[in-house]
Amino acid sequence: IIWQKAMNLVTMIYGLTSQFPREEQFGLISQMRRAAISIPSNIAEGRRRGTNPEFKRYLLIAYGSGAELETQYEISRRLGYIAIHESGCKNLLEEVMRMLNIMSAA
């Protein structure tokens, strides 16, 4: 379930960043997309590693990518690239982060 939600987050981030100014192509757009992609990628890789300690390690890496994305989202909002009322992506990111936190602590 967390992988599916993280995949949905990637799609939302791509849609959101497609509206950013062109000059951010190699800045925030690239950074946010890479951080978003890293979340489900690390979940998948950790799951395929086969051991619980390895899975937890990759969940923590995914959590770190989520923290990067949270910061980049806030920077984008402060720069006016994201409207204050645009909360769907932020809500999904917060949900994924909560799930990662719970799973990595278990």
Tokens (6 digits) for 54: 């390895």
66, 96 contact by CB (below 8 A): yes
State the pLDDT at residue 83.
Answer: 86
Give the containing element (helix H, strand E) for 104. helix 88-105
Q: For the segment 26-61, what is each residue's pLDDT rounded down to a tens digit?
A: 999 999 999 999 999 999 999 999 899 999 999 999
Burial class (CB in 10 A: 0-12, 13-18, 19+), 15: exposed
pTM for the full predicted model: 0.95
Per the listing, tokens 């791509």 go with 14
pLDDT at 84 over 90: no
